[in-house]
A and B are shown apart, each in its own frame.
Chain A
């Protein structure tokens, strides 16, 4: 069964809040394009095309292969129409029209580069540059800046309306993850639409009016003092260097240079699918996992490990916790909190701490793979290799900016040291490679280091939305039923939890049960109590979708019957993380997902409990098994009720 991938209808949002993106700022496209009048003929620069009514001029031009410059437009976000760089001339209209915001409802003739258009675009650009602190050499987005590109394309060779010589507002560096340099802001509002509409977190909005207009936080508080989940989605969509991540690469280089330090890096699944995008000529979705290992060693890291190891460890710990909660509820009559929520995504964890702290008891106490790894490195790994943990520097290559915050949480030092010293993003590692003169795509491949180097499919799919759930299903189903998941799903591909639907739901009936496996001995006497049960799961990605799920649970809706729900803060899951290469859009995210699932298919080990490093860890170190006293000490954590109060 179970591929009854039910679509849940969340279009009728019951909360009173209506994000502005739901305002139909464009004309609705017809459902049936064969209907009379549904298709409209447009002529752009002399080329004809028929498009469905409501298509914007920009979309139509794109189909014709005509490039119109944009800045405020972003395919993940609602239409703004504020930057005016995309203006075009529509015959018969005196005013120019913003092509991103102009829905075609009647046959029109459009010209995209008349004198009037060129002058207007150049003026818009000149006006932006007059207020933009353009210190390109020292800017993190040098070479990958949409404003810089436009200045290049439009042949800007002088500042017509002046130029900002000195920074005015300075950079807010208060956050562990996100830095804001408002002297580079061009007020395109992508960050506002990302934070308010896409993520529904609401850090930023437009404040003031007229000349005073600026993007601000509540009371212009520093980022550290506002309700920010550090997801970094705003960074991914910022066209300039106004928003960027806090870069630890300098201190990492220092650690590498220090002969007394043993520098260990773990690499998460998502970055390998995307790091190529930072290099010329590499298409999105080109995995460079093993080239990256070579490059990392070339930089001077002492060991390179695969986060897949601790992803699998997470499945064992989190899965055991789930079984304990289910057993407690169904057999022992305890009032355990169900559904259990995943805890891998630090953006999601901070989201629930702020917005739904009353539901924190539902969050699995298992640490995220990043943090589990750190705790294991500075205890088990240090011990077996006889290294003083004080001399170990743990770096985590993550697709994520929130991981930078997570590793700095004060409770994350169960090893007696800071479990993870630095969170490094995909973009930052690519930058380190470039600094070391490495052309990543041309390198030879090499393997991860032992003992945490087993390539497992169950770990790698953590990089895509639904991946944690799929891994959990593979392991839990096999441990409970004693049968192969492959009997249920071709190639063990649990399709119902894959894909980019905002909220996914699936049911997994357990018809037969097997013997209790060795790893769970002592936890439960048998599986009889699960026989005939149906495991109900859901997956949500993007905090706006998370909010819908939580509201549904609070109302006692369908999702409140779930046993286990995966949440990822970022749209698309980790492959859409805030530390991933810029730009991002659905097409790029789909390409990265394809790379991740291909790596899963190619892996020999695709179920967490079969990872030999995991088996060894439990037999050598966590000898009392998962969710034992020792594993709780090192691999589990607690959460903080943060709430929404800022003043």
Chain B
């Protein structure tokens, strides 16, 4: 029996190699498919995959154990229920949903029911922050789950979803649209116009617009493209970072779903500028349900001659491949993303050299956020001046914000850069807030007294995540949630981030129990500062931000607690 199983696996791997290539970069897609087929990645599957790709079995295990979505445990239920544990869903009441799930199934999180039907797991942010608590059952999404809905969802599972009242894809709320979302330019106008322009002119136009990376780091897009365009190489790549993992961010999910054409336009324009023939969309594993839609769009564009060997008859060749992530926040960091595309653990690289020189497969590569590509396409269509109408000198344009937490109207807002936090709170109905987390888990926690600060690259930067904390929120719990997130999501590579985050979390637990001296707290603050300056990548560098800003701004709230009796 085992021999037959092994042979079957070998044949499958052989077929998958034909589809995805026979080098290591095929590893993740192959593992995804094998897991779909066999339900989990057995020891034999890992070993045979390794031998087939001429790598070592332990290397495959290294990859499998890195990504949360890969399973090696045979005892996995038919339905894996993943409840989001990240901040916004936590604020929205995930604790009660968790309790009820355990009650209904008679198991704890991390366990599987006797009949092997259900497994309960926690997961980190899946981009449903405005509709939390959110959970996934296999690839199916559930929003605003309340304890009373739990039993119905479980019943639907038992019926194999033959009849269900829950929708397949839960759309996000657009609460406020602006020039980007409301744009009525002709379909593909940006691409058509760009392909008539000279390459340097496109770069000049983008430069003129002042567009900076929308993922959060804020690197000028024109510079990135120019560097990659100037680098000498026979191959270049354009990569779309659709690994929207920052807690509290869900605008890319919407853009991928509703503005796919503009995104693909933007990527194609970048390819034209760079001279790249191949592009990748790296879509986070949590957005698996968008996969087929995106694949269809890509196919359709090939038929329409918007992708392929001779785009719009201009002699430009460009093809886009979709690659799935597998549950790792750090892969939103561009070099970690590239490592992941190459079939490795998503660990950030040393920089320099930068991806624009040495990127995917060592070739010059530009990695841009979904929104950045869309903005680029619209800038080509409408011109730099149109874009610059909004925003500040250093932070031009409007920005999509994902708003969640304690406010009346969570959802997506398109607002100009430079808006004060106070104005934003009155837009979203969160005037009562005691603090706002700007920029996600790695961002800053801004207390009420600083609500006149502006959201912009020059003041409080944000990749779009805005989480509002109401007057009754316990800020220590908030900090704890963020630190738990980083302890889990650190790639584990560099010492400050891997070992530092657990120490900060430990400190929070000491604070909770009211047994942290202020001198030890000062020591932890210093440790946080070390982590900011000496971690290898942006994740590690930003991981202590929330802790630091919360203990600094709410010191009297977090010190001297009387422990709560359980």
Contact = CB atoms under 8 A, between A and B. Distances in A.
A20 interface: yes
A333 interface: no
The 4 A-B residue pairs whose C-beta atoms are closest, nearest first, are A202-B56, A213-B492, A127-B499, A205-B62
A81 B534 contact: no
Contacts of A616: none
B489 interface: yes
Interface in A595-647: 644-647
Contact of B350 (A79, A124, A207): A79
A593 to B, nearest CB: 31
A594 interface: no
9 contacts: A16-B53, A23-B362, A84-B494, A84-B534, A119-B526, A207-B58, A209-B345, A213-B498, A218-B46
B409 interface: no
A84 B348 CA distance: 14
Contacts of B22: 16
A410 interface: no
Interface centre among B56, B349, B353, B526 (most CB of A within 10 A): B56
Interface string B347-366: 00110110000100010000
A206 B496 contact: no
A258 B350 CA distance: 57
Contacts of B500: 123, 127
Nearest to B52: A16
Contact of A647 (B47, B344, B526, B527): B47
B336 to A, nearest CB: 11
Contacts of B529: 119
A106 to B, nearest CB: 10
A198 to B, nearest CB: 13
B10 to A, nearest CB: 12
Given A17-B24, A647-B47, A103 B353 contact: yes
A553 interface: no
A644 B51 contact: yes
Contacts of A647: 43-44, 47
A18 B534 contact: no
B61 interface: yes
Interface in B517-537: 523, 526-527, 529-530, 532-536
B535 A27 contact: no
A558 interface: no
A160 B362 CA distance: 41
B489 A101 contact: no
Contact of B352 (A27, A208, A645): A27
Contact of A120 (B344, B362, B534): B534
Given A187-B498, A202-B56, A646-B47, A208 B533 contact: no
B138 interface: no
A202 B496 CA distance: 27
A83 B47 contact: no
Interface string A122-163: 011001101100000000000000000000000000001100
Contacts of A161: 503, 527
A491 B502 CA distance: 64
A208 B534 contact: no
> Which of B43, B68, B350, B362 counts the most A-chain CB atoms under 10 A from its CB?
B350
A17 B54 contact: yes
Interface in B1-58: 22-24, 43-44, 46-47, 51, 53-58
Given A82-B493, A226-B58, A646-B47, 5 more contacts: A17-B24, A83-B495, A187-B492, A187-B495, A196-B56
Given A87-B534, A160-B523, A216 B496 contact: no
B498 A124 contact: no
B59 A205 contact: yes
Nearest to B491: A209
B487 interface: yes
Interface in B314-353: 328, 344-345, 349-350, 352-353
Interface string B416-457: 000000000000000000000000000000000000000000
Contacts of A119: 526, 529-530
B88 interface: no
B488 interface: yes
A273 B498 CA distance: 41
B396 interface: no
Given A25-B350, A82-B493, A94 B23 contact: no
Contacts of A645: 47
A218 B495 contact: no
Contact of A124 (B345, B489, B495, B532): B495
A83 B499 CA distance: 11
Contacts of B493: 82, 206, 213
Given A83-B495, A84-B496, A211-B502, A16 B536 contact: no
Interface in A345-389: none
A103 B352 contact: yes
A128 B492 CA distance: 13
A209 B344 contact: no
A408 B178 CA distance: 76
A210 interface: yes
A250 B486 CA distance: 47
A95 interface: yes
Interface string B175-190: 0000000000000000
A203 interface: yes
B541 interface: yes
Contacts of A20: 344
B495 A211 contact: no
Contact of A209 (B66, B530, B535): B66
B545 interface: no
A202 B495 contact: no
Interface string B250-269: 00000000000000000000
Contacts of B233: none
A211 B55 contact: no
Contacts of B491: 209-210, 213
A224 to B, nearest CB: 15
B335 to A, nearest CB: 10
B530 A124 contact: yes
Interface in A1-52: 15-18, 20, 23-27
Contacts of B57: 202, 218, 646
Most buried by B among A15, A98, A161, A219: A161
Interface in A171-190: 186-187
Contact of B499 (A81, A130, A202, A219): A130
B353 A84 contact: no
A218 B56 CA distance: 9
Contacts of B532: 95
Given A123-B527, A196-B59, A218-B58, A24 B362 contact: yes
A218 B492 CA distance: 18
A100 B348 CA distance: 16
A305 interface: no
B47 A209 contact: no
B487 A216 contact: no
Contacts of B534: 84, 87, 95-96, 120, 123-124
A240 interface: no
